[in-house]
Structure 1
Amino acid sequence: MTGPARRPRRPRGDEGETLIEVLVAVVLMGVAFVTVLGGIGTALISSATQQKVTGADSVVRSAAESIVGEPYVSCADGYATPTPPAGYTVTVEIEYWDGVGAFGPSCPTADTGVQKVTLTVHGTGPRPGRDATLEVVKRESMLS
């Protein structure tokens, strides 16, 4: 008589994966995917923000160059600025040197020949971005 029938052994390496091993692999791949996706999202948001800041800075510098190129106007109400691109507005504020030690919003009786022009660019639209401000000091030319 022969003993109980034995199942033949599988050759080594044919065992397959257990459910736990598969679950661990899926969880690790999920964590890696979420990490990569979060990094891409952060990069896109910071890129859009930087683009808005750079755009506003470019517009305010262009307006400042335009004002610097204009002749000095005694007790000026404003200076012409180039039309800003779509999505931006430019505001111009002028302060006048009082000859004593401060700038003020009203022109002194005798114009001292120094003005501080403050340019502010505002982003408009649904996602406006940041404002950019630049100050320019204009002096009356002594050459005539």
Structure 2
Amino acid sequence: MKADPNDRGETLIELLVTVIIVGVAVVALVGGIATSVRMSDIHRKQAQAGAYVRAFGEAIENSVSTGAPTKYTACAGTATYSTAYPAHPDGGTAYTAAITAVTYWNPTSNAFAASCTTDSGVQKVSLKVSTSDNKVAETLDVIIRKPCRSTTDFPSESPCA
């Protein structure tokens, strides 16, 4: 069988162009998968940090409202309520929980102020849970008030004003 003179086969340039096109497509696919994996990790960390910061806020609210006497502290600082929740809520070092600020309600100006001249019984506690790699940080402001409870049920409490 004789070869047809018009059947020349593939040239080296045609093969190189094909390999380059396939290589670019593979790089694009692998890059897309890598981005998807990174974003999935960040979204998982955001969801977990969001759950931790809400649990942190609830722990502070429960700490203040339960027990006798109440754990509400007039003119509290950032370290005052930090014992209500662990510094590392995951039990390891992947997440860190902290109180970043405590501000105090000023009834004269109807706003929260950073300085505590007289505590009116309402505080805004700013919470933050972040990852150790600093890729995710969730914040939450919790408003707490001094509980006004019956001195009959809680004799160690001061009467409500």
User: Normalised by the shorter chain, which TM-score bucket?
Assistant: 0.7 to 0.9
Q: With structure 2 as the length reference, what TM-score do the two structures score?
A: 0.68
| Match status 1:99 vs 2:92 | no
The residue that corresponds to 2:85 in the other structure is 82
* Equivalent position amino acid for 1:26 in 2: V
The residue that corresponds to 1:116 in the other structure is 124
- Aligned equivalents of 1:13, 1:55: Cα separation in 2: 66
| Match status 1:139 vs 2:148 | no
List alignment gaps of at least 5 residues for structure 2.
Answer: 151-161
The residue correspondences of 1:45-64 to structure 2 (distance < 5 A) are 45-64=38-57
List alignment gaps of at least 5 residues for structure 1.
Answer: 1-7
Share of identical aligned residues, percent? 37
Could you tell me which of 114, 135, 153 is aligned with 1:129? 135
Q: How many residues align?
A: 134
- The answer to whether the Cα contact below 8 Å between 2:60 and 2:85 also exists between their aligned partners in 1 is no
- The answer to whether the Cα contact below 8 Å between 2:104 and 2:122 also exists between their aligned partners in 1 is yes
The residue correspondences of 1:9-88 to structure 2 (distance < 5 A) are 9-10=2-3, 15-70=8-63, 71=65, 73-75=72-74, 76-77=76-77, 78-79=80-81, 80-83=83-86, 84-85=89-90, 86=92, 87-88=94-95
Q: With structure 1 as the length reference, what TM-score do the two structures score?
A: 0.75
- Shift of residue 136, structure 1, vs aligned partner: 0.8
- Shift of residue 143, structure 1, vs aligned partner: 5.2
* Aligned-pair Cα RMSD in Å: 2.6
- Shift of residue 106, structure 1, vs aligned partner: 4.0
- The answer to whether the Cα contact below 8 Å between 1:53 and 1:129 also exists between their aligned partners in 2 is no
Larger radius of gyration: 1
